[in-house]
Structure formats: C-alpha cells, structure tokens
Amino acid sequence: MNCLIVDDDPVSRKTLGMCIEKTDFLHLVASVSSAEEAVQAIAEHKIHLIFLDIEMPTMSGLEFLKTVKTTAQIVVVSGKKEYAADAFDYNVTDYLVKPVEYERFLKAAIKANEISVNLQVAPNGKGDFFIKKDSRLLRLNPADILWIEALADYVTIHVGLTERHTILATMKSMEDKLPKNDFVRIHRSYIIRLDKIKEIEESSVSIDGKLLPISRSYKENLYKRLNLI
C-alpha cells in the first residue's frame, strides 16, 4: 500500500516513516508538513493510505477530511483523544494517539490492508466487485444490493431481504467501490441503492418493507438525487 504522511511535527513524521519502513506491505510515497502539500501529493501519486495529523496550521486534519476527496483510507494520528468522535464521522479507518508505538501502528496498518483486500474490483465486471468472506472471494453485482449498513469496524451488505454479507470495511471504502450514480448515503450508518426506494417519509426511506433512517445532514443530498416532479 502506498502511504502518505501528513503532519507538521518533524519528529512525528520521522516516527511514522520508521514504522512504515518496518512494515513490509507498506511503502512510503511522500511525507509532508501541511494539508496543502498533501493535496499536491495525492494529485501526483497513487495513494492508498494516509496517516493524517489533526492539529496543523492553515488547514486542520478535520478540515482536510471535510473538503479533500480521496479514495485513500485514512488513519488519523493525533496527540489528543478528543478528536476521535469527529474523525470517525468521516469514516476514517483508525485513530492513533501520539506517541505512536509500533505494535499499535501495525494493528492499524493490518486493518487497512484487510479492508483493501476485502473489496476488490472484478475484472471486466461492469461495476461488479469481489468481497472476501472467510476463505472465499464472492462476486457481487451492485444492481442486486439493497443497502449497506455500518456495524462498528464492519459493514453488512444486504442483497435481498434474506442474503447478507458482513465484512471488515468502512463506509468510505464501500462508497468508493459503488457506482456513484446508483447509490446515496442517507445516514452515517446507511448507504442505499436509489432505484430500490419504495417510499420516503419525513425521516425514513422504505426499501422492500424495511424502514431506514435519514439523518438531517444527508437529507438535502438525497432529495437532490431524486427525480422529483
């Protein structure tokens, strides 16, 4: 996995760089001191995993999460625990507290690698992708998916009302793999397929008889995606 370090503290950048060097499935592509430099690095390189500090001048890590679009997984690295809840609202893969010890770093790196392995694009699949379930690779057609539900470090993919698959993944990694025109986020815990919607009430949608909540922060975007008359 190609890695990018974004941290204004040179000691922290050095520590993270040493951790990456010790991990055989990680490769450090760039190490920068600001979010602005990170944007340039993302444009120039294929980045799979970003180690992101929160407290930085000009643009904070949280502002970066809010404004910068990237398919890379993100592990937040911060000296303070209190930013964790806000960071996980942006579906980061993990949250490390400084000073970072290698054992904890490796746990986050393994998690990111498993998420990457668990979701693979199917060759010539016209949007199909593979999920790793137990020791099998299972091919899924996005047209068959009703909704995706977040469950802590896992997601459950609902295919019909009886078939479901739970894998280690983030909602962000799911959004990156799904066709953008067919799916929409309606809640921090739910992504739905637009053409599966049967009915919309004030704060919920009905998909094959199942009511799913719509949160206020995602409601406007949902209505923009509907073909209203």
Query: Over 90: is that where the pLDDT of 105 sits?
Result: yes
- Give the span between the Cα atoms of 55 and 53, in whole angstroms: 6
Look at 55 and 176; give whichever has higher pLDDT: 55
**What's the mean per-residue pLDDT of the chain?**
91
Q: What average pLDDT score do residues 73-94 get?
A: 91
3-state secondary structure labels for all residues of 27-62: EEEEEECCHHHHHHHHHHCCCCEEEEECCCCCCCHH
CB atoms within 10 A of CB 104: 14
What are 42-57's pLDDT values in tens digits? 999 999 999 999 999 8
Does the fold of domain 144-225 match that of domain 2-117?
no
Q: What is the DSSP letter of 190?
A: E
Question: pTM above the 0.85 mark?
Answer: no
Q: List helix spans (H) across the chain.
A: 10-22, 35-44, 61-67, 84-88, 102-118, 171-177, 216-225
> What's the pLDDT score for residue 88?
86
pLDDT band at 161 (very low <50, low <70, confident <90, very high): confident
Q: What residue spans define the domains of the chain?
A: 2-117, 144-225
Look at 117 and 192; give whichever has higher pLDDT: 192
Give percent of the chain above pLDDT 90.
67
Partner residues linked to 5 by β-bridges: 31, 51
Query: Over 80: is that where the pLDDT of 121 sits?
Result: no
> What's the pLDDT score for residue 160?
79
Q: What average pLDDT score do residues 60-81 get?
A: 93
Does residue 140 contact residue 128 with C-beta atoms inside 8 Å? yes
Q: What is the DSSP letter of 81?
A: G
Q: What average pLDDT score do residues 128-155 get?
A: 89
What are 22-40's pLDDT values in tens digits? 999 999 999 999 999 999 9
pLDDT band at 180 (very low <50, low <70, confident <90, very high): confident
Homologous superfamily (CATH) of 144-225 is: LytTr DNA-binding domain (2.40.50.1020)
What are 12-23's pLDDT values in tens digits? 999 999 999 999
> What's the pLDDT score for residue 122?
67
Check whether domain 2-117 has CATH 3.40.50.2300, yes or no: yes
> What's the pLDDT score for residue 26?
97
